[in-house]
A and B are shown apart, each in its own frame.
Chain A
Amino acid sequence: MTLSIFVFFLLGILIEALLLFDCAHPINGYIQSLHPLLQRIFSPVNLAASTLALLAAGLAFLIRLAGLDGPSMDIGTSLVGSVLVVLGVFVFFAAMAADLFIPVINEQSILIVQCAILASFLLEGNQVPWLPLLPLVLIPGIISLFLLFSQKKLPPILKALFYLWYLFTLMILPFQTGQVEAFLHATYTPIQAAVSGGLLLFMVIHGLFTARFFLMVCSLIRPRNRKFINRLMPRLFTDDQVPPKSFLLTFAACVVAILLNQVLHIIPPSLALTLCVMSAVQILSHLSRMKK
């Protein structure tokens, strides 16, 4: 990874941080005079992300112009190492001791994650051989389909167990798609670097939160602790579903994006699949919030 590519990698991390923060704590400040659709397009987060992208492109251009883009860098390089350490500490506390970046989900988000893993399983086989991937994915998939159609609401403790399952399957995804290996060995183009940066942040935050949430679920053995989860679950797992039309549109958009990428080879297919899952979870979080 060269310095200019590292700039794009950081850009991906920053944009993803913005998007996740917007999912967890909606940033207001829409331009009221515009059409609602245009308001969404020119939302504060999108404007901030575009500004960041322009700045990154400018910075990368200047780096190349100044001839600083020479040697390849990795995590052992002092600049990369120190930036990643600072980011790591921030992300650790953001995921373990705060509520900054965890998007609210619903049954539809769970269904999309399970579909993505299932698609990857059918296309490439089980890449995590020590895990029984099929039952692990099919059970929550079927439960979320049942909940979607029956409109039943789960009690908080069952919701917590279901949410934990969702987090575990989300963590399997980068192993199944081979993304973990790609993070270690990839030589990136600017787009790949930005996408990988965003994905890395999404996965690290969810990974740390999985550990935290696993401990929360373990603590439910003691009845005295259950009052906490009753208060927490509405923040993480909403019963509000996105209208079927919007859900199907999101699903179809993901499928089209994956197929288009297959034809145009913009980013590696495994990266595209993981990116679509990440985007779908965030879009559905936005849409379910808009419904309120």
Chain B
Amino acid sequence: MSRRSHPSSSPASPPPAPQANDLAVKRQKENSTLDLVAGIFSPLVIILFVVLMIIGLDEYAAHYQKVTQFEKNMIISTGIWEYFHNDGKSGWVKIQDERCLNTLYLDTRYYSAAALATLEDGKEVRVRYSVPDCRAYLDVYYAEFRYNLKGLQEFIPLFLFCVMVLILKPDFLYLGLIDLSDTPDPAEKP
């Protein structure tokens, strides 16, 4: 009795398992969709990255200018820490200087928790300030203000988003620099 052979079940090339095949096709579809989305967004993301970089540099330059200006007229003195303002971002220091109406404003956002923990109501605190600005900076923790780059930390998630998109589709970055067609370069190793 001869066995009937089914055309699809030849012993030479067994068909791939249907589930694995589906999975590969699905993954390929997902990849191409992701590539397409990244391809659409990548020029905008490049511009966004540069704009963020410019804003970051501008913030740094503004801070640097503020520090330089402050250090030109800086006075070091001892005052009394009054209290934290309700907003939690500032406080007041009592000082013997009529030009500042005996009170200095201290922006606490520049300092770490360890630095702020040293401030207690009614206790002496050593500060640096300038007139007529009348803003105080903690003397011991002055470096925390001087090298403060906290404003730039807000940009990190956006920077990462830009990098992620361009890892997926970097073609636009090479625009005008190299031929983007897929033909291999003669100098390139296979």
Determine if A182 is an interface residue (Cβ-Cβ < 8 Å).
no
Q: Which of A89-126 contact B (CB under 8 A)?
A: 92, 96-99
Extra inter-chain contacts (18) besides given A92-B50, A215-B162, CB under 8 Å? A99-B177, A180-B61, A181-B65, A184-B65, A208-B50, A211-B49, A212-B46, A215-B46, A216-B170, A216-B173, A222-B167, A222-B168, A227-B184, A228-B170, A228-B171, A230-B188, A231-B178, A231-B185
Query: Which residues of B are interface residues toward A (Cβ below 8 A)?
Result: 46-47, 49-50, 53, 61, 65, 68, 146-147, 149, 162-163, 166-168, 170-180, 184-185, 187-188
Cα(A96)–Cα(B53), bound, Å: 14
Q: What are 13 A-to-B residue pairs whose CB atoms are below 8 Å?
A: A92-B50, A96-B47, A129-B146, A208-B50, A211-B49, A211-B53, A218-B167, A222-B168, A227-B188, A231-B179, A231-B188, A235-B177, A235-B178
B176, A99: Cβ atoms closer than 8 Å: yes
Contacts across chains A and B counted by CB atoms under 8 Å: 67
Q: Which residues of A contact B177 (CB under 8 A)?
A: 99, 232, 235
Whether, in the assembled complex, A86 has its beta carbon less than 8 Å from a beta carbon of chain B, the answer is no
Q: How far is the CB of B106 from chain A (nearest CB, A)?
A: 22
Give 9 closest A-B pairs by Cβ, nearest first. A219-B170, A98-B176, A231-B178, A130-B147, A218-B163, A99-B176, A97-B175, A99-B177, A215-B166
User: From DSSP, what is the main secondary structure of chain B's interface residues?
Assistant: helix
The answer on a CB contact under 8 Å between B176 and A215 is no
Residues A97 and B176 in contact in the complex (CB < 8 Å), given A129-B147, A215-B49, A230-B185: yes
Question: Please, how many angstroms separate the alpha-carbon atoms of A218 and B163 in the complex?
Answer: 7
- Kindly provide the distance from the CB of B158 to the nearest chain A CB, expressed in whole angstroms: 13
How far is B69's CA from A213's CA once the two chains are assembled, in angstroms?
34
> Shortest distance in angstroms between A133's beta carbon and chain B's nearest beta carbon?
14
The residue in chain B whose Cβ has the minimal distance to the Cβ of A215 is B166
> Smallest distance from the beta carbon of B30 to chain A beta carbons, Å?
16
Residues of chain A within 8 A of B50, CB atoms compared: 92, 96, 208, 211
Report the minimum CB–CB distance from B23 to chain A (whole Å): 20
